[in-house]
Structure 1
Amino acid sequence: MTQLTVIERSPDPEEAQARTRAHRSIADKIRDMGRNRIGALLLLLATLAAIIWANVATGSYETFWDTHLTVGVGDLQLDFTLHAVVNDALMAIFFFTVGLEVRREFAIGELTSWSRAVVPVAAAIAGLAIPALLFFLVAQDSGQAHAWGVVISTDTAFLVGALALIGPRVPGRLRVFLLALAVVDDIGALSIIALVYTENFNPMPLIVAAIGLAGVYFTRYLRGGRGLVYATLAIIVWLAFLASGVHPTLAGVAIALLVPVYRPDRRDVEHALDLARTFRQSPNTEYARAAANSLRESISINERLQSAYAPYVAYVILPLFALANAGVVLNPEILGAAIVSPLTWGIVVGLVVGKFVGVFGAAAVMKIFRLGEFGPGLTLDRIAGGAALCGIGFTISLFIVDIAIDDPDAQNEARVGVLAASVLAFLIATVVFRISDALRPDLDTGQSLARPVNSKRDHVYGSDDAPFTIVEYGDFQCGFCLKASGSIQEVKEELGDRLRYVWRHAPLTAFHPNALADAEAAEAASLQGKFWEFERGLFADQENQRPSDIVRLARNLGLDVERFERDLTSPEVTGRVRDDMLDAEAMNITSVPTLFINGRRHTGPYDAQSLIRALEASERPATGTMPTVPAGPDAAPAR
């Protein structure tokens, strides 16, 4: 790859303060997932507490969780142990949030585009099949070969938390890959629980469940009071699943898959803002209620529920589950039996070896044969570390231990295997990530352009034969990017066909509220061949970039507005912007504009004369070092 140079001017003190305040990491939303470290740590502490409790207070652990709790009215009584309350009721909420995430990913997330999803999907499928096969080969003489489901699933909470603790520098794209993989992994695990580990099946209550689920689907059309209706129907569906013999936690998944999800409609958002302004001008209860309802309804109920339940799942439900299920007695007899148990070793081999071979092997094959999309930063050494982390099966592994194995001694051996495999997977991943970072110390410094210019993908202004290239990562709402645009225009006027200019998106969403919408709108305009015209329109009026302003700009440019509005929320548009943001994160871009000149990041002023001097000081890329393809329909003539 040719090496380029980026230019960051030395700002005055006031400007420096503004940049420091406004320019955070490009992948704010992805990095915020580091909050899951707290949930993972709570899960770990609950596991340790359960083990200590089970070994120090002999007998009290089982006695406490076997305590019966009766709920009912008159002759209608439900009797549960505390252990069943956690595993059957609270875990239904956990699986409900899993279902919400699955629904979202297939509707508007990473799994909407097959070319984008094929790598994590293939890795997840191999990561389900190979562990099960290895478990069966190792544990077939244990009498518990039917418990192969224990090794199929990865614990997403531990996965994300561990990645935040021990992962590589700038792990954004690896995290996206692993989360997409985890969604498919969860689908496989839930399907296997439903199909393989359901006993005493009674189909009649499922008729009631089907009616309840139909009610859940049509509840979206109610004008008000949907929350109470959803809650009532959810309880009915859960009870019907319980009566049918299908594990009741799957009711949570079934309900979640019917909850509507959509991207916020810009008209709804703007209407909510208008109501908020009305309330500000004339504060009263009616306007306050209308503004609050409008703001809430502009976000899909799927995302509202995910946001509402996520803290309870991470900080309460999963730690309680670990406390109720991880309490294995670790005396010499049990450890001795586990060491020689084919069941224990089947779990360890299945999770640690099987997950690694399945996930890494599938990804490596696809990379070798150039199948699917691998962006900058998603390298095989990093995938190897992520594949090792997938061996942490904890939550669903312990869950299936409880429903697939009846013998208490075998359950103890299985739990030892799950705990040992999780620790080993964590340690192996730590070593892999540390070696990866040590062997590639300069990879993430961001001094070289991570993704070569491609005229079919990029927004290119000028000829591919130009000896000089400027790549800008920018934000349409950033005043400094507006100044850079003017400087680059002067450079273009002076150098003419000798300059090729490339724009890539790096919206600072935390501080420029319209920046992401602007980037997606520019991409939607690009689909109609008007990217550069739209770019100029956005820069020309940075103060007015509300949804109605964006649509008006599209209309003024002669775009098909109906198509433009559809494209605004299309996976192609949102994925394109997201990819640029991940590229920016991979290069540690924390401010905009960030400019690359002939492949190298330049620090210094970005006035026209400084840019020209930097361009002339750079070497012309050697032939073939910066792969390009013939200009696509988005390429524009020189300005």
Structure 2
Amino acid sequence: MTESITAHRTRFRGLVDKIADARRGDSSETVAAAFLLVATVVALIWANSPWGETYQSFWHTPLSITLGDQGIELDLQHWVNDGLMALFFFVVGLEVKREFAMGELRDRSRAAVPIVAAIAGLALPAALFLLLNPTGPEAAAWGVVISTDTAFVVGLLAVVGPARAVRLRIFLLTLAVADDVGALAIIAVFYTDELRIGPLLVSVAGLALIASLRGLRVWRGAGYGLVSVVTWVAMYESGVHPTLAGVMIALILPVYPPRRREVEHAAALTRAFRQSPNPEYARAARLGLERAVSVNERLMRLHQPYTAFIIVPIFALANAGVVLSSETLRAAATSSLTWGIVVGLVLGKFVGITTASAVFAKLRPGSMTPGLTFPQIAGGAALSGVGFTISLFIVDLALDDPALADQARVGVLSASVIAALLGWLVFSLGNRFAPPPAEPSLDLLRRVSPKRDHIRGPVGAPLTIVEYGDFECPFCSKATGSTREVREHFGDQVRYIFRHYPLDDYHPHARYASEASEAAAAQGKFWEMHDMLFLHSDALERDDIDRYAADLGLDMDRFEDDLRTGDFVTRVEDDELDALTSELPGTPTFYLGVEGRVPQRHSGPHDAATIIRELEAMRAAARRPVAD
């Protein structure tokens, strides 16, 4: 018996795909994109209203901060661009660091296609732009076309993307991180003013001090904050764009999975507070909980909402206010600068990302994630032409002439609108000429691979059983007896593959159990741990699982390190995403197959007799001669 089909389809739509959430208004990415869009529209209306002069006068109001005889004076627009945006780039740096340490970019083979696509999506737009603007002051704006606005792209994907976009969303987010790395490097190398060595050395000393705080295991954010402000000021005075201070600081800050001893210590402090609530225990419990989580993750959780919902919209309000007069539009329509930006962002991103993905997948078969199609990639590549935030940011860095800057901003706004429409068109054409099935395919999405899968029985056996299971699911535990009988019946003629589908909503310990089985696999004992977990499916607390690992003779230090560093998280997540993409009804779900044919989802009872009959029928059908 499986869990409710309706419940799991709701889970699929709500927790992974995010499209249903976005249409109900629950998606934070979509709300952030809406804030950004509203700020852009307000800036355009304000700049083109009868009070348009107040737009320029307001944002060019000087503001100075002085200490004694020293100080910094900027207008409001540059306080936003150089000051507030440093926090935006700080959060971007935190995300990049986390992705390389614990996220999508940790597994290089998994991220290979989006990384290659991101490189092509940086290079081709810049090349196309420089073909149209090879010399002159316009050429300096080539960096405008390099970056993708993640907030807008994710928001647009939720609105115009395909119904089953789990893998596409992950592809685009991974691509965006790689894209951000390239954009930050380009800003650092090509858009730095004349260097002043003294302040630069102070900023380097500030970065070194932050690194030493990390080495001393300082985990409170306040200490980092004070040094960060000094570093920002020094970098501003050095001539390097001060927003890069945010990136450099973020890349230095420590990121690590919670350490078990610190989590246990925090839990003990919390229990003490529960038993004797008083201010001293309350403070100790709070500090213990904070110490258990890395500075990177705490600061990202703290600052991300401010950057998404306040800082980036304020940046758009300060920079998107182009006066769309007939003169401005006429100049933009005939400007190689404007057309270079439009061609670079719209055509360069679309062709570069799509072509690079297709070529790389052709050269390295199996590198493309199952469930991700080229029509989907093409639609996502089209949406990637929305370069908005960093594009407008680089306009301010690259162009001193206000007229050229306005032409560039018109190009960025035009390219963003065209890219959004092109993405919608590509997805619509894909649905028309290759419509997705009303129901997900019954074929096994990810083919069985000896390099990846855990296989019980001969690797080349003619009969195949694939189970998507959950170690805490009582039905899965009972199904292990059925699969044992089936294997005994067929002997070496059958192979059995287990894949993970932890149902967090119902079984809170299942995910840790799945990761523990993968950590055991690293020591050559997946099936022993698999059997042990199912034998004790009603006792899967962390202490229980650690005891099972010790009973199996695993190296416990290595076992704990493997679980803490998250090396196997992506493996469990990949199995789960395959299950969700296929909209599996619950656990256990079986796929049955015969040599030469793709395994098919089994929809009937999963007792041994039924599975044996179906496999026998498949084998008999495969042996029948094909009629002319």
Q: Structures share a fold, TM > 0.5?
A: yes
Deviation at 1:582, TM superposition (A): 2.2
Paired residues of 1:520 and 1:573 also in contact (CA < 8 A): yes
Q: Aligned pair 1:565/2:560, yes or no?
A: yes
Identify the match of residue 240 of structure 1 among 229, 234, 257: 234
Q: Structure 1 residues 302 and 53, CA, compared in 2 at 3 Å: closer, same or farther?
A: same
Identify the match of residue 130 of structure 1 among 124, 127, 130: 124
Q: Which moved more, 1:241-250 or 1:436-445?
A: 436-445
- What residue identity is the alignment partner of 2:600? R
Q: Aligned pair 1:25/2:44, yes or no?
A: no
SS in 2 for 1:260: coil
Counterpart residue number, 2:245: 251
Deviation at 1:164, TM superposition (A): 1.9
Q: Structure 1 residues 543 and 222, CA, compared in 2 at 3 Å: closer, same or farther?
A: farther
SS in 2 for 1:502: strand
Identify the match of residue 178 of structure 1 among 158, 172, 178: 172
Q: Aligned pair 1:39/2:32, yes or no?
A: yes
Paired residues of 1:507 and 1:516 also in contact (CA < 8 A): yes
Paired residues of 1:26 and 1:506 also in contact (CA < 8 A): no
Q: Structure 1 residues 225 and 364, CA, compared in 2 at 3 Å: closer, same or farther?
A: closer
Counterpart residue number, 2:107: 113
Q: Which moved more, 1:551-560 or 1:606-615?
A: 606-615
The whole-number CA distance in structure 2 between the counterparts of 1:54 and 1:119 is 42
- What residue identity is the alignment partner of 1:461? R
The whole-number CA distance in structure 1 between the counterparts of 2:468 and 2:546 is 24
Residues 198-246 of structure 1, C-alpha deviations (whole Å, 9 max, x = no match): 2232121111111111121122355667322111011001101111111
Residues 523-543 of structure 1, C-alpha deviations (whole Å, 9 max, x = no match): 111122211110121122234
Deviation at 1:460, TM superposition (A): 1.6
SS in 2 for 1:508: coil
Residues 21-41 of structure 1, C-alpha deviations (whole Å, 9 max, x = no match): 898339946748942011111
Following superposition of structure 1 onto structure 2, how do residues 360-371 of structure 1 map, counting pairs within 5 Å?
Answer: 360-370=354-364
Deviation at 1:132, TM superposition (A): 0.9
Paired residues of 2:137 and 2:399 also in contact (CA < 8 A): no
Deviation at 1:487, TM superposition (A): 3.3
- What residue identity is the alignment partner of 1:316? I
The whole-number CA distance in structure 2 between the counterparts of 1:225 and 1:141 is 49
Counterpart residue number, 1:206: 200
Deviation at 1:309, TM superposition (A): 1.3
Counterpart residue number, 2:443: 448
Counterpart residue number, 1:53: 46
Counterpart residue number, 1:167: 161
Unaligned 5+ runs, structure 2: 594-598, 624-628
SS in 1 for 2:455: strand
The whole-number CA distance in structure 2 between the counterparts of 1:512 and 1:268 is 25
Identify the match of residue 350 of structure 2 among 328, 353, 356: 356
Deviation at 1:373, TM superposition (A): 2.2
Q: Structure 1 residues 388 and 112, CA, compared in 2 at 3 Å: closer, same or farther?
A: same
Counterpart residue number, 1:215: 209
Higher relative contact order (CA 8 A, sep 6+): 1
- What residue identity is the alignment partner of 1:20? A
SS in 2 for 1:153: coil
Following superposition of structure 1 onto structure 2, how do residues 364-403 of structure 1 map, counting pairs within 5 Å?
Answer: 364-370=358-364, 373-403=367-397
Counterpart residue number, 1:544: 539
Q: Structure 1 residues 295 and 592, CA, compared in 2 at 3 Å: closer, same or farther?
A: farther
Residues 352-398 of structure 1, C-alpha deviations (whole Å, 9 max, x = no match): 11112221221111111116721112222221112111111100100
SS in 2 for 1:268: helix
Q: Structure 1 residues 331 and 485, CA, compared in 2 at 3 Å: closer, same or farther?
A: same
Q: Aligned pair 1:513/2:500, yes or no?
A: no
Q: Structure 1 residues 214 and 391, CA, compared in 2 at 3 Å: closer, same or farther?
A: same
Q: Structure 1 residues 353 and 225, CA, compared in 2 at 3 Å: closer, same or farther?
A: closer
Paired residues of 2:47 and 2:323 also in contact (CA < 8 A): yes
Counterpart residue number, 1:527: 522
Deviation at 1:68, TM superposition (A): 2.2
Paired residues of 1:26 and 1:508 also in contact (CA < 8 A): no
Q: Structure 1 residues 445 and 87, CA, compared in 2 at 3 Å: closer, same or farther?
A: same
Deviation at 1:464, TM superposition (A): 4.3
The whole-number CA distance in structure 1 between the counterparts of 2:102 and 2:575 is 18
The whole-number CA distance in structure 2 between the counterparts of 1:224 and 1:483 is 49
Q: TM-score, normalized by length of structure 2? A: 0.91
Deviation at 1:103, TM superposition (A): 0.9
The whole-number CA distance in structure 2 between the counterparts of 1:355 and 1:45 is 25
Q: Structure 1 residues 200 and 621, CA, compared in 2 at 3 Å: closer, same or farther?
A: farther
Identity of aligned residues (%): 52
Deviation at 1:477, TM superposition (A): 2.2
Q: Structure 1 residues 420 and 98, CA, compared in 2 at 3 Å: closer, same or farther?
A: same
The whole-number CA distance in structure 1 between the counterparts of 2:356 and 2:404 is 32
Counterpart residue number, 2:148: 154
Paired residues of 1:98 and 1:253 also in contact (CA < 8 A): yes
The whole-number CA distance in structure 1 between the counterparts of 2:233 and 2:325 is 39
Deviation at 1:83, TM superposition (A): 0.8
SS in 2 for 1:69: strand
Q: TM-score, normalized by length of structure 1? A: 0.89
- Two-structure CA RMSD over aligned residues (Å): 2.6
